[in-house]
Structure 1
Amino acid sequence: MKMIERLAEATELAAQILAKHDYVRVISHNDADGITSAGIICNALYRRGIPFHVNIVSHLDEAFVRRLDEPAIFCDMGSGQPSLIPRDAVIIDHHMPIESDTEHLQVNPHLVGIDGSFELSASGVTYAIAKHLGNNIDLAGLAIVGALGDRQPMIGANKDILDEALQHNIVTIAHRLKLGDGDLAELLMYSTDPYVDIAGDPNKIQTFLDELDIGGKLSELSPEELRRLASALVLKVMKKASVDAIESLIGESYKLNYEVVSDASLFVRMTNASGKLGKTGLALALCLRDAGAKDQAQQLCLDYQRRTISEMKKIDIKEGTSIRYVHSSDKDVIGALAGTIIQYVAPDKPILVMTEQKGKIKISARGTRKLVQKGLDLSVAMSEAAKKVGGVGGGHNIASGASLPVGTEPKFVEAVDAIITEQLGGKGE
């Protein structure tokens, strides 16, 4: 039996519930996985002739949820706070459930023995539901985008979706340097994934390319020029990056044969940037195959990467026993900063990136698969440490977040450092 089939009973029941409604409210998270989840279910509802209204949000807001008075489906959120969710709502999530919940239908891979941190994201769960609502196999590409957005490998249930997409020519795989396509100097100037130390510095980039005797568009390079470029970039990345980051530089890339953005990695960046910058309608339009949204989303993506690189050049990373932490003045890019630092700059300890937003301290934390294998669980660490200072936290073992009262950061850092030190065996990395 395929791993994803463990969810068959729950996904079929969720589809039956949705199919009975003549109107559905869709609430989803504002990152790439949440937005593609919303895109998948909205496409499926539209094809069934079921009207819907979508809200893409950064977090569950109790006041907002209380105002809901129609059938609702929550995507990429809800399992951590089921007490906030209306009883008749469906929860589609891949975060670890932290409360006993007998009042909702929760479709969550963790509940059937699938690791929602690595083997299946919310978009994959939503895709499994969409298949029960009609012939929606062509939406598999969006599920892959969502998984990539959460940095999940194509293993377990994700591989089941990928295999199906390949079988039906929804997706095509190529093995190549994963920089995207376009002018080399511009790609390196704004690249955050992969991130190299010359990013943001046109003079250093030109010197780098001159030394390799290459230039122009990536797609126009000869095999020998591509080999030289790849080797040079790997050498740069290897100095500091994680194994995961090196693997992400050269390897499988996914062409989406049914989507308006065919490069899956670019789709991730465009939806994530649009979502984080508050242009959620634009991000959803991409998932609904509105080609008219591409140009604006592409520009937002470049702006977001530019801001991330600018912040990378300014931050001062501080050391704890088993963690690193940093304060950022740009509230919109803390997740991107955390991901870039842990992947390409300092992968040996978890990183916490903090910013002040709307009278709260928001924190984005990231680890690596290697650290998780050693015992790291950021969801537990962030939740427990946040509670100690009057905040809330949670997420995945490899990626998590928290919201704290202003002024509690020192106590929080001390608490989370102690928890992670214990998780990793009682000593710093």
Structure 2
Amino acid sequence: MTGPVPELAERATACAEHLRDRDRVLLASHIDADGLTSAAIAATALERAAIPFEAVFEKQLDEAAIDDIAATEYDTVLFTDFGSGQLETIGNHEDAGAFTPVVADHHQPADRDTEYHLNPLLFGIDGASELSGAGASYVLARALADVTDAPTDGVAADGGTATARADNRDLAALAVVGAVGDMQASGGELHGANEGIVAEGVEAGVLETGTDLALYGKQTRPLPKFLEYATDVRIPGISGDQGGALRFLDDLDLELKTDGEWRCWAELTAEEKRTVASALVKRAVSRGVPAPKIDRLVGTSYVLCEEPVGTELRDASEFSTLLNATARYERADVGLSVCLGDRDEALDRARTLLRNHRRNLSEGIDLVTEEGVTHEEHVQWFHAGDRIRETIVGIVAGMAMGNDGVSRSKPIIAFAEKSAERDAANPSGDAAGEEGGGADVAEEVKVSARGTHGLVREGLDLSVVMGEASRAVGGDGGGHDVAAGATVPAGREAEFVERADEIVGEQLS
């Protein structure tokens, strides 16, 4: 099997063959949208290959978490969406005979390697923009189907559904959700190795793509809110202006309500969409929005065509936000269940968590905007203390960029107090293990950093910034060029900012 990413095919096959011969596997994954989709893809592939497994989730794969994993009775551990950056610690346990690791990740690898390590960065593919953790997990799933006789329970007259399940191509939809959730749709569309996965998803009948407005909420937000909250490209008189959005829509010669209720973008006809989009572009031009920003109003849509119209699950971006609203509130089990097809209790719970998540994000953005950020020469930063959860402070920081006093021309660094527990959870929602080893989390601070793809094109690499600056003050960190994180000792934030500012200055000089 060549697979969707030919460069990874040989390594993926080696990893799959090792998993195939195991009596059981421990699946460990990260908690964000990319991590949850990675876990769901791996879990489905293992189940179809008749390989027993248990899943655990960690918001941070630190030394204590790895120690807990090593203390289990599993001989093989499959790490998805993390593990590459922690291979030194993982390797120590491997050398001691605790377990054999299989890693499907896309983050910057540590200096040490291991035999079953599937990471695009090892093969010249950018893990920050061309293949996500879910993408790596998908490549592994495709290989696992190839080396096993995975049964199918899908039946189609033309064999399409059954074939897509047999070779795991139907899991491409989740891989796209993970990539979109990992901010890889730069310029409004997915690039590189992700394109091969998209193509397989379309071929399998689980994805549809097309040119559309690149605004969030096409499936679920009523049209006025859809336009009012679309702030990535700010259009004066509409963005952030409830009355302005209503007046804009009222001035159009269209019937945009059903039984007195505003319709959603996904419910409009193609002709209605063209009319609204054309008027939106004209308004942007008339209000002096620069042409490059206007171009960003249009992008590629990724639609999960087997999901109902008007639900969060049909749009890759909205699906990823729903998932973020589960595990970031210690309910990774809920997000995993939704990914695995639970459309009843788990989906209801996820939607409740999403409403809470949106409220917390809104309050966090308001806090940052009202209190402002501190500007250094090359970075800007704020310290939320315990007023913003550590699991969402990075999202808040990214969404606040462009607000009054928060620049998009320099990366933003956000600090938040770490919770008293590691908040690891298994699919039943129980604690995965007691805190043990490592530093006392009560004496640590979470750091999240966000940039823009424009800054990355100029040379910004926040993975390097977070890694070097955190280690300079006795912490550790990493991530991607456009988004990264770290943990540092409490009280050393000022030193961290000073070093980060120096590194960013060097990168952008």
Q: What TM-score comes out, normalization by structure 1 length?
A: 0.89
The aligned residue for residue 370 of structure 1 is 454
The aligned residue for residue 199 of structure 2 is 163
CA distance 1:109–1:250, shift in 2 (3 Å): same
1:334 equivalenced with 2:393 (yes/no):
yes
* Structure whose alpha-carbon radius of gyration is higher: 2
Mapped to 1, the partners of 2:356 and 2:285 lie a distance apart of 26
Mapped to 1, the partners of 2:234 and 2:339 lie a distance apart of 26
SS in structure 1 opposite 2:85? coil
* Structure 1 residue 141: Cα displacement: 0.6
The aligned residue for residue 206 of structure 1 is 243
1:318 equivalenced with 2:318 (yes/no):
no
1:305 equivalenced with 2:305 (yes/no):
no
Mapped to 2, the partners of 1:368 and 1:26 lie a distance apart of 32
Correspondence for 1:282 among 327, 331, 334 = 334
SS in structure 1 opposite 2:410? coil
The aligned residue for residue 106 of structure 1 is 117
* Structure 1 residue 405: Cα displacement: 1.0
CA contact (8 A) 2:235 2:289 kept: no
CA contact (8 A) 2:4 2:139 kept: no
Mapped to 2, the partners of 1:415 and 1:121 lie a distance apart of 29
Between 382-391 and 210-219, the greater mean CA deviation after superposition:
210-219
The aligned residue for residue 153 of structure 2 is none
1:89 equivalenced with 2:101 (yes/no):
yes
* Structure 1 residue 218: Cα displacement: 2.5
CA distance 1:299–1:169, shift in 2 (3 Å): same
Q: Tell me which protein shows more helix as a share of its residues.
A: 1
The aligned residue for residue 408 of structure 2 is 347
The aligned residue for residue 253 of structure 1 is 301
Mapped to 1, the partners of 2:197 and 2:498 lie a distance apart of 41
Mapped to 2, the partners of 1:197 and 1:235 lie a distance apart of 10
The aligned residue for residue 72 of structure 2 is 68
CA contact (8 A) 1:199 1:309 kept: no
1:146 equivalenced with 2:184 (yes/no):
no
The letter for the 2-side match of 1:218 is: C
Between 119-128 and 79-88, the greater mean CA deviation after superposition:
79-88
CA contact (8 A) 1:3 1:114 kept: no
1:404 equivalenced with 2:463 (yes/no):
no
* Structure 1 residue 186: Cα displacement: 4.5
Q: What TM-score comes out, normalization by structure 2 length?
A: 0.76
Mapped to 2, the partners of 1:187 and 1:171 lie a distance apart of 23
The aligned residue for residue 52 of structure 2 is 51
The aligned residue for residue 83 of structure 2 is 78
1:180 equivalenced with 2:192 (yes/no):
no
CA distance 1:279–1:187, shift in 2 (3 Å): farther
How many residues of Structure 1 are paired with residues of Structure 2 in the alignment? 419
CA distance 1:424–1:226, shift in 2 (3 Å): closer
CA contact (8 A) 1:192 1:305 kept: no
CA contact (8 A) 1:212 1:228 kept: no
SS in structure 1 opposite 2:299? strand
Mapped to 1, the partners of 2:418 and 2:80 lie a distance apart of 24
The aligned residue for residue 10 of structure 1 is 11
Mapped to 1, the partners of 2:361 and 2:450 lie a distance apart of 16
The letter for the 1-side match of 2:128 is: S
Mapped to 2, the partners of 1:224 and 1:4 lie a distance apart of 39
Mapped to 2, the partners of 1:200 and 1:295 lie a distance apart of 30
The aligned residue for residue 357 of structure 1 is 418
The letter for the 2-side match of 1:180 is: K
* Structure 1 residue 105: Cα displacement: 1.8
Mapped to 2, the partners of 1:41 and 1:350 lie a distance apart of 34
Mapped to 2, the partners of 1:234 and 1:14 lie a distance apart of 52
CA contact (8 A) 2:3 2:9 kept: no
CA RMSD of superposed structures (Å): 2.8
Between 187-196 and 268-277, the greater mean CA deviation after superposition:
187-196
Mapped to 2, the partners of 1:7 and 1:17 lie a distance apart of 16
CA distance 1:132–1:106, shift in 2 (3 Å): same
CA contact (8 A) 2:302 2:315 kept: yes
Cα shift readout 1:31-70 (whole Å, capped 9, x = no counterpart): 1111100000001111112221111211113233222330
Mark the runs of 5 or more structure 2 residues left unpaired by the alignment: 95-99, 146-166, 257-261, 420-441
SS in structure 1 opposite 2:314? coil
* Structure 1 residue 193: Cα displacement: 6.6
Between 214-223 and 387-396, the greater mean CA deviation after superposition:
214-223
SS in structure 2 opposite 1:423? helix
Correspondence for 1:129 among 136, 140, 145 = 140
The letter for the 2-side match of 1:303 is: N
Equivalent pairs: percent with the same residue?
37
SS in structure 1 opposite 2:392? helix
* Structure 1 residue 380: Cα displacement: 1.3
The letter for the 1-side match of 2:357 is: Y
CA distance 1:195–1:8, shift in 2 (3 Å): farther
SS in structure 2 opposite 1:106? strand
CA contact (8 A) 1:341 1:347 kept: no
